[in-house]
Structure 1
Amino acid sequence: MDAVLKKPMPKSDYLDKPSTNRPDQAEVESAVRTLLRWTGDDPDREGLIDTPKRVAKAFLEMFNGYDMCPAEELGRTFEEVAGYDDLVLVRDIQFHSHCEHHMVPIIGTAHVGYLPEGKVVGLSKIARVVDIFAHRLQTQEAMTAQIANVIQDVLNPRGVAVMIEAEHMCMAMRGIRKQGSTTLTSTFTGVFKDSPEEQLRFLTMVRHGNK
């Protein structure tokens, strides 16, 4: 699927830290034990005794995007760019996320470009924004729009282009079980949205680097 997303996400979805009400450690470990029993295994056997604790720790790492604000990552910009105002493209940002429908992995690559308006942001900050949104329960469509919208709203560039390519384990491991299928999403704002030529230039630069 190759979709161009045009409807912006509500700003509260990407400019603020999400509101969280986490249970305590004991509740989490109890929930994991219940899931282990649901699989048909014995949570008291030797190999699974510490699994609830390990799962709780792993979840804190994999979903730490809920503790961070992507807008804050873009807060420091640089204006000494010698008049540069052409496309800035950060390509091949690898990420892992989790599908909000089945909580199984999404593994993919993001390509993010923008046309600066007098200021630029550190390149690592773009990758950091991708990771923050990836480390939340997601759909690929929403994540694509969130990345573009927060860059547009915070940096106010002349336009933003985002493309994500990802494999969804919910397709590979269950249901239709089609390994290797890739989902492609893209969204454009500003100049990119209004100019097919700029869209083509962005896509060409992304694809040229993958040959």
Structure 2
Amino acid sequence: MDAIVNKMSDKDKDNRPTQAEAEEAVRTLLRWTGDDITREGLLDTPKRVVKAYKELFSGYDQDAEEELGRTFEEVAGYDDIVLIKDIPFFSHCEHHMVPIIGKAHVAYLPDGKVLGLSKIARVVEIFGRRLQTQETMTAQVAHSIDETLQPRGVAVMIEAEHMCMAMRGIQKQGSTTITTTFTGAFKQDPHEQVRFITLIRG
């Protein structure tokens, strides 16, 4: 599935501009805004922006399936819901490159194996640190856990505010977008969906 891409391909890495080219692109944008790139406050801005972007978009260099690779089988027969809620994340809208700020709730039903709890938060971060739509990110988190762990079901809900709505366009601050993806038992059994949402809201 094209939407579930885990990391940047080697071909894309080879085609990446150099640091100097990226900094020059920032200077071009600064000139386009009408500012003076020779003034003191902007002299180091291109270097700072490129450094910040390297961190903000570091998810392209990381593989979610590798992060999820280690599982634990000593679960003492535990087979009920595992839920990690209120995982904060920051992403960027692929349409306007402005921030998406939100939280993710991720649950799964184990089938003999469990993940380290920090792994799920890391997967949210990996997909968050890419240009995104919220719908795609929700599906990516769910499918990466589903394919790697192969549990009885996965549920993901993301709640986020999009700065492309708050800062520009219709300029509606405070509105929240909610997206969900369910697989396996969560998709087939409405009771499991209700239980997931009740645990989040409770």
Output the TM-score relative to the length of structure 1.
0.92
2:41 maps to which residue? 47
The residue number in structure 1 matching 2:155 is: 161
Structure 2 counterpart of 1:58, from 28, 52, 57: 52
Q: Aligned partner of 1:22: which letter?
A: R
Asked if the contact 2:103–2:160 (Cα under 8 Å) also holds between the matched residues in 1, the reply is yes
Show structure 1 runs of 5+ residues with no match: 1-9
Q: Which runs of 4+ in 1 moved over 3 A?
A: none
Code of the residue aligned with 1:187 in structure 2: it is T
Q: 1:75-90 maps to which residues of 2 (within 5 A)?
A: 75-90=69-84
d(CA) in 2 for partners of 1:135, 1:13: 14
User: What's the Cα RMSD here?
Assistant: 0.9
- CA deviation after TM superposition for structure 1 residue 13, in Å: 2.8
Residue of 17, 37, 45 corresponding to 2:7? 17
1:2-151 to structure 2, matched below 5 A, reads 10=1, 13-14=4-5, 16-19=6-9, 20=12, 21-151=15-145
Match among 198, 201, 205 for residue 195 of structure 2: 201
Q: Report the identity percentage.
A: 72
Indicate the structure whose relative CO is greater, using CA pairs within 8 Å and at least 6 residues apart: 1
Deviation at 1:12, TM superposition (A): 7.3
Partner letter of residue 7 of structure 2? K
1 CA distance for matches of 2:59 and 2:145? 16
* Structure-2 residue corresponding to 1:3: none
Normalised TM-score (structure 2):
0.96
- Per the alignment, residue 7 of structure 1 pairs with none
1:113 maps to amino acid: A
- How many matched pairs? 198
